Chains A and B, each alone.
Chain A
Amino acid sequence: MTSPLPEAPQGPLPAIAISVEKLSAAYGGKTVLDEVTLQIPRGTSFALLGPNGAGKTTLLNILSTLRRPDGGSASVAGADVVRQQTLARRSLGVVFQDSSLDDRLSAWENLEFHGLVYGMAPKLRRERSAAVLALVELEDWRDDIVRSFSGGMRRRLEIARALLHEPQILFLDEPTVGLDAQTRLRIWRYLDEMRRERQLTVLTTTHYIEEVENADTVCIIDHGRIIAEGSPEALKSQHGSRWLHVVPRDQAALDAIRAQRPDAQLLGQHGLALPADDGAMTDAFLTAFRDRLTEVRFQDPTLESVFLSLTGRQLRDRADGDRDAERAAGRRGGRR
């Protein structure tokens, strides 16, 4: 792959791209972030994983200077997000969870606006706009009004726009919702290349496991606290365990299992998850309840089970579980 980009100026840049020190935030008396401390080295891919409402977006909003922290400090690319806002913003590219495109402008006009607001020279604007449009394969739609775009196209344009001014640090808030697998792969490949070539740092927030498996570091966050941090492999070997997922035949069976195995976790409406590291216990359980189960499945350690064992809850909270599962299935092309 050849890079369509001009060389970035090579200056002495801090080795730590994002530094967060005892950061706290509250919303109407409710704590959203509770003394979060983080260090993200330059050129790495860092994923914040947690359920909706865990505080991920609040953290991103503070880091992108949209919100002031209620305590602690944070800096991006060496610039304090409260005292050196302009400097901090200059180094950032942000893709928000919800669209922030102007849907009365064309794709090109949205990029042109972005380039102007970031003070880019006309020639550079044109070159970069063409390059990022090509990256997300929207060249054929460059003069179409964004209002006519599908959700996936908007998402692609938004990612293209965030990369236009060649940021040092890229924030992706729930980035790949609505993207097909092929586009996602191409964008991640491009981001990996940028990380290698120009030490781009990527900070992703998500509540989808699939998106964080390739991250260098995964940070699991729940109720505004960091509960685990490490590479996906390390997290799995440390906290992950084998689980047995079962669906009891009826409520009576479910109650019976829960009475006998207090370590069983509820899974959705009808299912249960039991730790299955102890082979003998698992065998005993299966023998006892064999006829009262409709479904039995072993689950090897995943980040999902890491989350489950750390918090006692599933990553996708009950309320939006079904919708998310549907969405996720949609993104996987209907395959389960």
Chain B
Amino acid sequence: MNTFVMALRGLYGVWLREITRATRDRAQLIGGISRPLIWLLILGVGLNPYFRGEVYGEVRYVIPYTYLQFLFPAVIVLNIMYTSIQFAVSVIWDREFGFLREVLVSPMPRWLILLGKVLGGATVAMLHGGLVLILARFADVTLSLEQTAVALALMFVLAFGLTSFGVILAARVRSFEGFGVFSNTVILPLYFTSSSVFPLDPALTRAQQAVTYPEWLVFLVQINPITYAVDALRGVLINFNQFPPLWGPLVIVAMAVVFFIIALIDFNRQ
């Protein structure tokens, strides 16, 4: 019992440190606010009229939603991706500036240290995703309390998986500079191939889909786990799924479990 309380205190300490540090990191907060504004206000508003249009002289409705509504859940995922993967910087920072040793000589077991760190990073990333929810009304998305709760839960599990992914990256990257370049080359391709800015099936029938999009692109979208995360959030927030509704949550949970285990193996090896 006593050991359990002590472990909880340690977990809370590690988690609290991540939260405290995040609230002092202005740059990250500014990024978390400006990113959704740019994507929704500029790209979203700008492309909104083009989302329903004429193809071969025939008016087609791509999906029964506006582009802003379609884009809204994806921007949440984008914000979570950025914050989660940037979390690797915190891990590299700890390692390079010696703070890691302070925790490693403490009685806390390593898995608990990592869990605390990832929970902290995931909380921050989820809150950054939550910032986007404030813009819901603007994107013509109406949210019930229940929808918001389910969305936040999914966002947290997604953030947990992506934060673990950030830790995995951190174990393989030596310098901060290297990481800056690296993170952009990871985040943006993943984002663009997640059916975030365009629907996978523009024509609603399978025959037309293959004509419209090259197979390699469809393939990339289908193997990208982020696709299913975006799909899960679309299901909750605008009630639109491109895949069976259960796939999204399953992929999100699977990412969290698998990435955390790999991160733990890495962390134990250090």
List residues of A whose CB falls within 8 A of some B CB. 64-66, 86, 89-90, 92, 94, 96, 98-105, 109, 112-120, 161
Contact = CB atoms under 8 A, between A and B. Distances in A.
Contacts of A94: 101, 105
Contacts of A92: 105
Contacts of A114: 102, 106
A115 to B, nearest CB: 8
Contact of B17 (A105, A119, A120): A105
Given A96-B98, A99-B98, A117 B21 contact: no
Given A116-B12, A117-B13, A117-B108, A105 B102 contact: no
Interface string B89-117: 00000000111111111111100000000
A77 to B, nearest CB: 12
A104 B98 CA distance: 13
B13 A102 contact: no
B267 to A, nearest CB: 14
Contact of A112 (B6, B13, B21, B100): B13
Given A105-B20, A105-B21, A117 B14 contact: yes
Contact of B105 (A64, A99, A101, A104): A64
B5 interface: yes
B9 A66 contact: no
Contacts of B12: 116
Given A105-B21, A113-B17, A119 B107 contact: yes
B251 interface: no
Contact of A89 (B7, B20, B97, B106): B106
Interface string B16-59: 11001100110000000000000000000000000000000000
7 contacts: A89-B105, A104-B25, A112-B13, A113-B17, A119-B5, A119-B9, A119-B10
A104 B108 CA distance: 22
B24 A100 contact: no
A49 B77 CA distance: 55
Contacts of A104: 20-21, 24-25
Q: Which range contains the number of B residues in contact with the other chain? A: 20 to 34
Nearest to B106: A117
A325 to B, nearest CB: 26
A117 B21 CA distance: 17
A114 B108 CA distance: 11
A123 to B, nearest CB: 13
B26 to A, nearest CB: 12
A51 to B, nearest CB: 22
Given A109-B20, A116-B12, A102 B99 contact: yes
A116 B105 contact: no
A48 B149 CA distance: 58
B56 to A, nearest CB: 58
Nearest to A103: B97
A171 B153 CA distance: 44
B98 A98 contact: yes
Contacts of B108: 117
Interface centre among A94, A112, A119 (most CB of B within 10 A): A119
A101 B20 CA distance: 15
B106 A118 contact: yes
B101 to A, nearest CB: 5
Nearest to B101: A100
B143 to A, nearest CB: 34
A248 to B, nearest CB: 44
B9 A116 contact: yes
A142 to B, nearest CB: 15
Considering the complex of A and B, which 7 residue pairs feature the smallest CB-CB distances, nearest first?
A: A119-B6, A116-B13, A100-B98, A100-B102, A90-B107, A117-B106, A117-B10
B16 A116 contact: yes
A99 B98 CA distance: 7
Nearest to B103: A117
Contact of B101 (A96, A109, A113): A96
Contacts of B103: 117
